[in-house]
């Protein structure tokens, strides 16, 4: 009985906590409004980002171990054109060059990730520490600090040591929680005197869903309806453990912050006067962002996830929910383990209610009972999933404010790609995307959302996972076919630089001139780019063109001969 009463008291307490933290988000009020002229608070931090596997290359150099992406990208048919990140941008060799690109824009921070198998080749600290790998990150951090660029460091951006996948089944196995903690602890020990912003995981939604549910990403498992939930469960526990390690062992000395970077598209109800659409849109965001954010801020999964997955599991005749549960100790251990919340955001969907009968198999996607729609008038300059819907960003940021008690936010990823083989450095649509998304972020700051910094995604074109090199997110164009992976500024470099130097959008006249000036510079760079590939592609040219030219010559000679002979007759 006493136990029962205690539990009841706890329950009431938890409820009270939740109520005090979460205001209601107003789904029915979407003021899109016009462009807002104004600036960000002083000290607002401007940056750009990257991740290890996408940019470093040097996949087997200086003692680095294999990651699940080294293995996955070698499997035929998994990556567009069977490309790999083996060399990518060769960022491993170009620290100085890339820092000068950041200086050109006067970035305040640079977000990058540490490759776990580069410093622990077999994943385990007890096994072997690769000092050469550590040295690479030491040098990178030093070079950033010498140039007054603050490093924001991600511990896990998807490149799990392959050894841990083979031995434990990766994020499916709770043993990984302690192994990740050992790795993080090593990073705090070696880099923490100079790194003050730590991100445990980048986009864990993608790790869980694309790695273990759809299999589009490494390790490529298709454990539908269970794999993603299990992976996410271990990721959340691992995050909390690492936060506590920092809090108890390092915070006093190092005085840094530990957060996570969650990616979420915005979900707007198709009809904001229809309660069922509103509930469906709420589910969309809860299954996306709330899946991770609600445990870290409130101690448990969103109620709507527990309800939906629980009910569907029961209908399928399962003895327990496919969504794992946290016990009371775990809940209190996990609650409040986010010093700042990183937000990655790219696009928006319209959402409407749609029932999926549980007899039709189960998956993360059908568990949500909703359908995603897009407005055909939305511009989609690059990746097929990426529609430019700037107002969705302001909605998402306000949602975070109301749901999680107005946490400190760093935007950790925001940007747009361009279509394959595009060598146009005059990226008009990217300038417009940055202008409009950053403007909506400014409106959100004025709404009272606590955004402290913004990270443009990404510094360079890079390996885009299953899309290979076919999608380019960079402010800088990278010629992947050239030996030295030459970088060229796109017009958006100049444009973003002006946003940074003005700390926002001072007035209409000035902003109109930005675009014109940025476009002037890219026209001359375009000529550079057009000239360069001629030399770097000599091999290809000889391979393909020489035989073709020879064949043509023979043909022309033959025809000439025919004419000659005919003339004789």
Ligand X SMILES: *[C@@H]1O[C@H](CO)[C@@H](O)[C@H](O)[C@H]1NC(C)=O
Task: Write out the catalytic residue numbers.
Answer: 413
d(CA 341, CA 102): 24
Task: Pick between residue 223 and residue 371 the one whose CB is nearest to ligand X.
Answer: 223
Here's the x/- map for ligand X, 108-127, by CB under 6 A: it reads as --------------------
Nearer to ligand X among residue 66 and residue 79 (C-beta): 79
Q: Residue 227 to residues 215, 269, 308: CA-CA distances in angstroms?
A: 10, 28, 17
Task: Give the C-alpha separation, 372 to 349, whole Å.
Answer: 6
Looking only at the bridges linking them, the beta strands covering 257-263 and 451-456 are unpaired
Question: How many beta carbons lie within 10 A of that of residue 225, not counting itself?
Answer: 21
Contact between 81 and ligand X by CB under 6 A: the answer reads yes
In DSSP notation, 386-411 reads ----HHHHHHHHHHHHHHTTS--EEE
Is the separation of the CB atoms in 367 and 312 below 8 Å? yes
Pattern 22-61, ligand X, x by CB under 6 A: ----------------------------------------
Residues 6+ apart with CB under 8 A from 150: 45, 47, 108, 109, 110, 144, 196, 197
Interface residue with ligand X among 1, 42, 77, 255 (CB under 6 A) is 77
Distance CA 413, CA 51 (A): 11
Long-range contacts, 283-289 (Cβ 8 Å, 24+): 283/308, 283/351, 283/368, 283/369, 283/370, 284/349, 284/351, 284/368, 284/370, 284/372, 285/396, 285/399, 287/364, 287/367, 287/368, 288/205, 288/264, 289/205, 289/262, 289/264, 289/396, 289/399, 289/400
Q: Taking a C-beta distance cutoff of 8 angstroms, is the pair 275, 368 a contact?
A: no
* Residues 241 and 178 sit within 8 Å (Cβ to Cβ): yes
Question: How many residues sit in the footprint of ligand X (CB under 6 A)?
Answer: 10
Minimum CB distance to ligand X smaller for 78 or for 349: 78
C-beta atoms surrounding 74 within 10 Å = 13
| Helices 508-536 + 428-446 axis angle, to 10 | 140
Task: List the beta bridge partners of residue 161.
Answer: 67
Give the 3-state secondary structure of 76-125: CCCCHHHCCCCCCCCHHHCHHHHHHHHHHHCCCEEEEECCHHHHCCCCCC
Structure tokens at 104: 């050109």
Which residue's CB is nearer to ligand X, number 172 or number 362?
172
The answer to the question of residue 76 lying near ligand X (CB under 6 A) is yes
3-state secondary structure of 351: strand
Say how far apart CA 171 and CA 165 lie, in whole Å.
Answer: 8
Q: Which is nearer to ligand X, 173 or 519 (CB)?
A: 173
* Near ligand X in 155-174, by CB under 6 A: 167-169, 172-173
What is the H or E stretch that residue 11 is in? helix 2-21
Which 3 state secondary structure label does DSSP give 240?
helix
Q: What is the dihedral of CA 479, 481, 483, 485, to 10 degrees?
A: 20
Query: Which one, of 284, 163, 262, 160, lies nearest residue 211 by Cα?
Result: 160
Contact of 49 with 414, CB cutoff 8 Å: no
In whole angstroms, the minimum distance from the beta carbon of 398 to ligand X comes to: 40
Closest to 302 in 3D by CA, of 323, 287, 281: 287
By beta-carbon proximity to ligand X, the closer residue of 76 and 377 is 76
Burial label for 450, CB within 10 Å (0-12, 13-18, 19+), is middle
Phi first, then psi, for residue 83 (nearest 5°) are -75, 160
Binding of residue 178 to ligand X (CB under 6 A): no
Looking at beta carbons only, is 277 or 466 nearer to ligand X? 466
Q: Candidates 6, 39, 82, 315: give the one binding ligand X (CB under 6 A).
A: 82
For residues 222 and 253, which CB has a smaller minimum distance to ligand X in the complex? 222
| Site for ligand X, rule CB under 6 A | 76-77, 81-82, 167-169, 172-173, 175
């Amino acid at each position: 009985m006493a136990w029962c009463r205690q539990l009841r008291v706890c329950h009431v307490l938890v409820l009270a906590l939740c109520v005090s933290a979460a205001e209601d988000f107003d789904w029915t009020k979407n003021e899109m409004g016009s462009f807002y002229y104004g600036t960000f608070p002083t000290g607002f931090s401007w940056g750009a980002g990257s991740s290890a596997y996408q940019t470093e290359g040097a996949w087997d150099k200086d003692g680095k171990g294999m990651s699940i992406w080294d293995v996955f990208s070698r499997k035929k048919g998994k990556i567009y054109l069977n490309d790999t990140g083996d060399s990518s941008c060769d960022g491993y060799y170009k620290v100085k060059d890339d820092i000068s690109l950041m200086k050109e824009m006067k970035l305040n921070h640079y977000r990058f990730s540490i490759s776990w198998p580069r410093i622990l080749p077999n994943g385990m600290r007890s096994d072997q520490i690769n000092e050469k790998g550590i040295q690479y990150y030491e040098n990178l951090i030093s070079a950033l600090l010498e140039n007054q660029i603050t490093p924001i460091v991600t511990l896990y951006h998807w490149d799990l040591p392959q050894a841990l996948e083979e031995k434990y089944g990766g994020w499916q196995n709770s043993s990984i929680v302690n192994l990740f903690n050992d790795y993080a602890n090593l990073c705090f020990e070696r880099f923490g005197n100079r790194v003050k912003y730590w991100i445990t995981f980048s986009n864990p939604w993608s790790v869980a869903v694309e790695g273990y549910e759809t299999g589009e990403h490494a390790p490529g498992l298709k454990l539908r309806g269970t794999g993603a939930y299990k992976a996410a469960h271990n990721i959340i526990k691992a995050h909390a453990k690492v936060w506590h390690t920092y809090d108890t062992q390092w915070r006093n000395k190092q005085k840094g912050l530990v957060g996570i970077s969650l990616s979420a598209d915005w979900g707007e109800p198709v009809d904001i006067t229809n309660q069922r659409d509103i509930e469906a849109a709420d589910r969309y965001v809860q299954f996306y962002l709330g899946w991770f954010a609600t445990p870290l801020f409130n101690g448990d999964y969103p109620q709507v996830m527990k309800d939906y997955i629980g009910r569907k599991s029961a209908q399928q005749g399962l003895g327990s929910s496919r969504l794992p549960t946290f016990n009371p100790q775990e809940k209190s251990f996990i609650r409040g383990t986010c010093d700042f919340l990183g937000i990655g955001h790219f696009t928006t969907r319209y959402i409407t209610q749609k029932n999926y009968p549980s007899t039709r198999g189960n998956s993360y996607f059908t568990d949500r009972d909703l359908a995603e729609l897009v407005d055909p008038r939305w511009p989609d300059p690059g990746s097929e999933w990426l529609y430019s819907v700037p107002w969705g960003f302001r909605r998402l940021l306000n949602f975070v404010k109301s749901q999680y008690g107005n946490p400190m936010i760093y935007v950790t990823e925001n940007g747009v790609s361009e279509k394959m083989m595009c060598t146009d450095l005059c990226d008009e649509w990217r300038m417009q995307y940055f202008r409009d998304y950053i403007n909506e972020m400014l409106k959100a700051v004025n709404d009272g959302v606590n955004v402290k910094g913004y990270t443009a995604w990404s510094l360079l074109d890079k390996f885009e996972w299953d899309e290979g090199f076919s999608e380019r997110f960079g402010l800088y164009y990278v010629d992947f076919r050239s030996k030295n992976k030459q970088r060229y500024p796109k017009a958006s470099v100049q444009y973003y630089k002006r946003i940074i130097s003005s700390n926002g959008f001072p007035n209409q006249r000035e902003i109109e001139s930005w675009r014109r000036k940025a476009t002037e510079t890219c026209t001359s760079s375009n000529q550079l780019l057009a000239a360069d590939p001629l030399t770097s592609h000599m091999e290809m040219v000889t391979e393909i063109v020489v035989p073709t030219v020879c064949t043509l010559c023979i043909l022309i000679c033959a025809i000439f001969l025919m004419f000659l002979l005919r003339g004789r007759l």
